[in-house]
Structure 1
Amino acid sequence: MKNTSLSAAMLQAKCPRCRKGDLFPTSVFSYTKLSEINGKCPECEATITPEPDFFYGAMYISYAFSVALMVNVSILVTYFFDRPDTMVYVWTVLAANILLVPLMLRYSKVLYLYGLGKLSYDPDALKK
């Protein structure tokens, strides 16, 4: 059985304990059920949500993603257009946020769970 690396498991939004089960009931790129996360891993039955409001802290990571996106989009707009109108900045940042909201919300939860969750990798988790 091949072990999944930490970075691959995080990119694929897999369970931190077994790195096989999905964290989300729908695709990471889906706009449906954005805030829903599986309570237990479908593979190893590990409790993914340790307490009811655990993922509220992920909002700080999501906010950082939004700020980074706003700064990068603003830099790109300034680079490609010579002194654009303020509304060009507003509309491009808004469009980028709408397009990337599923990724930012979901990966903020993934990073929060891997960083502050109490689950650690157990290669034998599926055998138990």
Structure 2
Amino acid sequence: MSHKSLGGAIIKGNCPRCREGNIFPVSMLSYRKLSDVHNRCPKCQAVLTPEPDFFYGAMYISYAFSVALVVNVLIILNYFFDDPDVWVYVSTVMVANLILIPVMLRYSKVLYLYAVGKLSYDPSWKAKLTEFN
């Protein structure tokens, strides 16, 4: 059995239990159903949504991502462009936020699932799945 890395699974958006199945049914580049999550992992059948509205807690992580984005954009603009007008700050933050919405939305859910979802990596998930079938 090969050991799948935690970081690689988080970056790819894979299931916390098998680290193979995708958490999301559509690509990050698809704005259609961007926030949808599989109810069960397509590979190991682990429950990815343990209760209705489970991912509401991911809004706190998404908020932290947004605050970090605003702070970084403000620092970069202030440092490289010598304190531009307010409209430059606002428009740059808005454009950066629109571009990064898919990334922030997806990774807030992935991080929340890994942190709070109570699913831990099980390298022998295949044997357990065939045992029940």
**TM-score of the superposed pair, with normalisation by structure 1:** 0.96
Q: How far off is 1:54 after superposition?
A: 0.5
Contact 1:14 1:21 in 2 (8 A): yes
Larger helix percent? 2
Runs of 5+ consecutive residues of structure 1 not aligned to the other structure:
none
Q: Does 1:43 align with 2:73?
A: no
Deviations 1:23-63 (A, max 9, x none): 00012343221210000000001110000110000000000
Structure 1 match to 2:7? 7
Distance 1:32 1:126 in 2: 32
Quick one: distance in 2 between partners of 1:97 and 1:123?
37
- Contact kept, 8 Å, 1:13 with 1:28, in 2: the verdict is no
| Secondary structure, aligned partner of 2:46 | coil
Distance 1:30 1:74 in 2: 29
Check conservation: 1:40, 1:49, Cα contact below 8 A: yes
Partner of 1:101: 101
Distance in 1 between the 2:115 and 2:89 partners? 33
- The equivalent residue for 2:62 is 62
Aligned length: 128
Determine the C-alpha separation between the residues in 2 that align with 1:56 and 1:27.
21
Unaligned runs of 5+ in 2: none
- Is 1:77 equivalent to 2:67 in the alignment? no
- The letter for the 2-side match of 1:110 is V
* Residue deviations 1:41-91 (CA, integer Å, cap 9, x gap): 000011100001100000000000000000001111111112200000000
1:24–1:37 Cα contact (<8 Å) kept: yes
* Same amino acid, percent of matched pairs: 62
Match of 2:88? 88
Q: 2 CA distance for matches of 1:3 and 1:56?
A: 31
What is the TM-score when the length of structure 2 is the normalising length?
A: 0.92
Equivalent AA in structure 1 for residue 15 of structure 2: C
